[in-house]
Amino acid sequence: MGGRMSDRKEFRDLVSPEEARETIRSLDLDPGVESVPIEEARGRVLAERIDATIDVPGFDRATLDGYALRAADTVGADEADPALLDLVGTVHAGQRADVPIDDGEAVEISTGAVMPPDADAMVPVERTDRPEEGTVAVRTALAPGDNVMRAGADVAAGERTLGPGTRLTPREVGLLSALGVSDVPVLARPRVGIVSTGDELVRPGGHLDHRSGQIHDVNTYATASAVEDAGGEAVTYPHVGDDMDALEATLTRAAAECDLVLSSGSTSASAVDVIYRVIEEQGELLLHGVAVKPGKPMLVGRLSISDDPDDRRPSSGESAYVGLPGYPVSALTIFRAFVAPAIRAAAGLPEPRTGRVDGEMAVEERYEEGRRRLLPVGIVEEGDRTLVYPVDKGSGATTSLVEADGIVTVPAEVSYLAAGEAVTVDLFSSDVRPPTVLGMGEDDPAWSALLDRLDRPRYLAVGTREGVRRLRNGVPDVAVAAGPIRRTVDAEDLGGWTREWGLIVSAGNPQDVTGLAALVDRDLRLINRETDSGLRTDLEDAIDDLADERGVDRHDLVGSIDGWSLAARAHESPARAVIAGDADAGLGLRATADRLGLGFVSLGEQTVRVLANPDRVEKSGVRELGERLSNEVDAVIDRLDGYGRIDR
């Protein structure tokens, strides 16, 4: 079967570039899913959602060097009349905080150190004096929580931290490390076999016979680099001449080992170019020739795979095939225009884009002058406008970087960026894209599952109140609001669901918690939710009702509940505290208790609504979200105990 052919093969009907792209998109390049060690995860794409299983930090910690104390001991303190406290110990970072604090006492503490269990605030060393050995003078009044990063303030247990389709940059790898993730489920990189053809080729390093028209094999290495750059795994094979038997053997081997086979050369109508005949005999030739310059002689087809049990792709029985032109410039041009997008799509990667974008501030931003500021920001599209919003939880929060798309550099002399002011964003990567839909608001497991069904969404779990406030200011596309909304907001209701809320207790309810009254009347410890949470709002309303029923002031009831001010940021954190034995009850959802095997005391049913910015209801991502809420919410909530459907 080998040897040259005497007849010439004319090109078949040329197809349009659009048809060529569609043909390549129809090929099966799905590489599947694999698990990789976290040290190898950079640049890969998550195959499934990663939820936090721990609070980060896992303890209340000091944000500055200073003194841990009880805020109540500093009431009325100022420069003229400081509060004088006794020093009873020292806690450094990495040490246990086994130092009890009574009224009128303080503990010296380092940045990042664990707060003593009886302290609820800390004062920076700059606002203190040491008038005598064993005492500290505090020259400012403090409130509970001042200068303290609460457990779970960065990432809360149960929170949706990274979704499927997320490309893992060093920022995301850092977040996964903080969560203790050691093996990461990622999309496997498409294996792309590269076969260069032509009797004239010599591998770099080999001797060239110029008189015989020999040239170095450029395409193997140039194409391999392009494959890697597009997110694929390049597998190179020895170049082959124009012998049909040799071509058939090499292409068949590559097809058995790879998801896609790329050849270069041997695609013109020359009599010595026989590769198209190999494809026709060993598979299926889908097109030969594209109406584009350079790169007209392109082949697209499928190659059959042998029955060898060691074949990598026995399930599909075939591998995708694309034949590139022989000239390196043409080969790379065709690869970038037609093949690279297909490899990126199979690898879950976005199309490349410039690393800088111009936009306008969505909201005002104020801060002190004196230092250049590198402001982490996110970007969101509103029609032809790119809106830029600050994303900054503080220097100790890794999620600030994950939720940001880039940096706006603010000169030292600038203290104010106005809403609508033009800014330039230096993107963290040229691959950064605005999210298809930007949401803010309540943390909710049904919502997390719905987000998994969208392409490149972004969600900031800032709580109902804050989410609605930011929606009112025009930042997100949608806000997720749970429970009553205290202030009106102009928004389009896309739909929602109901969820049963109450107290999460240990399995079997050993403390026999029967309702909210048990927390008031008995010595039980509660883990609450933050004030921006819709669950907290409903709990406060329930406290009001209980106070009215008993004819007492609500503050008396709140004061009798141990842990009322101990607030967790996400729906699962209180449950985790119950599991750890740090609380007798936690404010949460029946679905969370059911998933973690805990007991549950119902306090009512709460409505969750997805509210859209009225100016962005026609945005493609918002439209898709609305459609999925209408058509797929039942499938989501059916998997969650205590959830129900509501009509739009």
The predicted-structure confidence for 180-231, as pLDDT tens digits, reads as follows: 999 999 999 999 999 877 666 656 666 665 665 656 566 788 888 889 988 9
Q: Are residues 594 and 531 in the same domain?
A: yes
Residue 123 sits in the same domain as residue 240: no
Is 73 found in the same domain as 26? Answer: no
Domain-located, residue 87: yes
Tens of pLDDT, residues 441-476: 999 999 999 999 999 999 999 999 999 999 999 999
Indicate whether 195 and 340 sit together in one domain: yes
How many angstroms from the chain centroid is the CA of residue 363?
Answer: 23
- Using CA atoms, how far residue 326 sits from 247, 497, 560, 613, in Å, is 15, 58, 81, 52
* 424 and 532 inside one domain: no
Asked whether residue 9 is assigned to any structural domain, the reply reads no
What are the residues facing 234 on neighbouring strands? 192
Same domain, 475 and 571: yes
Both 316 and 205 in one domain: the answer is yes
Check which CATH number belongs to the domain holding 385 and give it: 2.40.340.10
Both 144 and 179 in one domain: the answer is no
In a domain, 525, yes or no: yes
Q: Are residues 584 and 634 in the same domain?
A: yes
pLDDT of residue 17: 82
Determine contact, residues 34/233, Cβ cutoff 8 Å.
Answer: no
Q: Which two tokens stand for residue 341?
A: 């997008």
Note whether residue 6 is domain-resident: no
Q: Considering 90, 121, 149, which residue would you say is the last residue of a domain?
A: 149
Same domain, residue pair 498 and 598? yes
| CATH code of the domain containing 525 | 3.40.190.290
Domain boundary among 315, 347, 379: 347
Domain of residue 362, residue span: 356-434
Closest CA to 573 of 149, 115, 159, 59: 159
Residue 202, burial from CB neighbour count under 10 angstroms (0-12, 13-18, 19+) = middle
Per-residue pLDDT of 495-508, as tens digits, reads: 999 999 999 999 99
- Token pair 């303080």 is at which residue? 106
Reply yes or no on whether the pLDDT at 8 is more than 80.
no
Residue 28 class from Cβ within 10 Å (0-12 exposed, 13-18 middle, 19+ buried)?
middle
Query: Could you tell me which residue, 4 or 621, shows the higher pLDDT?
Result: 621
| Alpha helices in 168-323, H assignment, sequence order | 170-178, 219-229, 244-257, 275-282
Residue 163 lies in a domain: yes
Structure confidence by residue, pLDDT tens digits, 574-628: 999 999 898 999 999 999 999 999 999 999 999 999 999 999 999 999 999 999 9
Q: Confirm whether 400 is domain-assigned.
A: yes
Same domain, 82 and 176: no
C-alpha triplet 218, 220, 226: angle, nearest 5°: 100
Does some domain include residue 8? no
Q: Indicate whether 307 belongs to any domain.
A: yes
CATH of the domain at 98: 2.170.190.11
Q: What is the pLDDT of residues 335-357, one digit of tens each?
A: 888 899 999 999 988 877 667 89
- Which residue in 330, 561, 589 sits closest to 482, CA to CA? 589
CATH number of the domain to which 45 belongs? 3.90.105.10
CA distances from 60 to 85, 118, 580, 593 (A): 22, 11, 15, 24
- Which of 347, 366, 390 terminates a domain? The answer is 347
Beta strands in 140-180 (DSSP E): 148-149, 160-162
User: Would the pLDDT of 324 be above 70?
Assistant: yes
Compute the average pLDDT of residues 547-561. Answer: 93
| Residues 178 and 203 occupy one common structural domain | no
When the pLDDT of each residue in the chain is averaged and rounded to a whole number, the result is 87
The rounded distance, in Å, linking the Cα atoms of 228 and 331 is 16
- Domain of 325, CATH number, reads 3.40.980.10
- For residue 292, give both structure tokens: 């584009």
Number of domains comprising the chain: 5
